[in-house]
């Protein structure tokens, strides 16, 4: 029995050394391929541009992994992934995304959109009443106009509250007008907080189901 254990152990050590060599060889080949691709790209744009692009990609991947890693439920992770792609969304796609976020928060949502919406893209209903929501997925901070439109639209649709959701934020004038007429303003940080709230609610619901 002792002889068999020694032989078996030696076999495992040889296998481990072989696996280590295989892994090292694969990494070496992968490194050569990556370096070849980078060299090819550098011939056209130069090494400084390639290095800058690598740094940007690394930062974006790191931010994505950190944000996704802090969320533990599938629904919140999916919404967080969609949030990373907000800049590529059309106005209609952003409205649908925001309706998904609001539904996950517990609202009953209706996406209006199009002509005749009177400045309201989404109506979100809850026990606290109806909310008129205008969504502005602009590259720059938005000004007074969305505040004026959603304020008037909320009256038209007989809503109790009026919100504007604009990831890029707002101008000073928009904040001043919103404060004076009672319109609530939300930006990308607000959306992140909502997704975090969704994650917490989903975790609590999962724990309650497991305990039942």
**pLDDT value, residue 2:** 37
Beta-carbon contacts of residue 141 (< 8 Å; ≥ 6 apart): 166, 168, 169, 170, 171, 174
| pLDDT value, residue 21 | 47
Q: What angle do CA 88, 93, 98 make, to 5 degrees?
A: 105
Let me know: does 124 contact 102? Beta carbons within 8 Å: yes
By CB atoms closer than 10 A (0-12, 13-18, 19+), residue 184 is: middle
In sequence order, the β-bridge partners of residue 123 are 110, 132
Between CA 181 and CA 201 the distance in angstroms is 32
Q: What is the reported pLDDT for 5? A: 36
Specify the pLDDT at position 46. 76
Query: Domain extents for the chain?
Result: 2-67, 74-201
Out of 3.40.1350.10, 3.40.50.300, 3.50.50.60, 3.40.30.10, the CATH code matching 74-201 is: 3.40.1350.10
Mean pLDDT in each 10-residue stretch from start to end of the chain (212 residues)?
Answer: 36 44 57 70 73 70 55 88 93 96 96 82 95 96 96 96 97 97 97 95 83 76
Pairwise CA distance, residues 119 & 122, whole Å: 9
């Amino acid at each position: 029995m002792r002889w068999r254990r020694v032989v078996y152990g030696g076999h495992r050590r040889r296998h481990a050394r072989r696996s280590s060599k295989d892994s090292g060889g694969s990494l070496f080949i992968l490194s050569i391929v990556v370096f070849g691709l980078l060299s090819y790209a550098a011939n056209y744009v130069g090494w400084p541009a390639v290095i800058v692009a690598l740094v940007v990609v690394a930062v974006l991947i790191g931010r994505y992994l950190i944000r996704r890693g802090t969320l533990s439920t599938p629904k919140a992770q999916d919404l967080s992934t969609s949030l990373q792609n907000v800049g590529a969304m059309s106005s209609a796609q952003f409205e649908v995304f925001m309706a998904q976020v609001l539904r996950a928060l517990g609202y009953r949502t209706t996406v209006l959109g199009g002509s005749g919406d009177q400045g309201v893209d989404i109506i979100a209903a809850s026990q606290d009443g109806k909310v008129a929501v205008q969504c502005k997925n602009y590259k720059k901070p938005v000004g007074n106009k969305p505040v004026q439109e959603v304020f008037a639209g909320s009256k038209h649709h007989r809503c109790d509250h009026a919100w504007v959701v604009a990831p890029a934020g707002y101008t000073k004038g928009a904040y001043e007008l919103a404060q004076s007429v009672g319109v609530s303003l939300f930006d990308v940080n607000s959306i992140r907080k909502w997704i975090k709230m969704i994650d917490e609610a989903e975790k609590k619901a999962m724990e309650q189901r497991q305990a039942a």
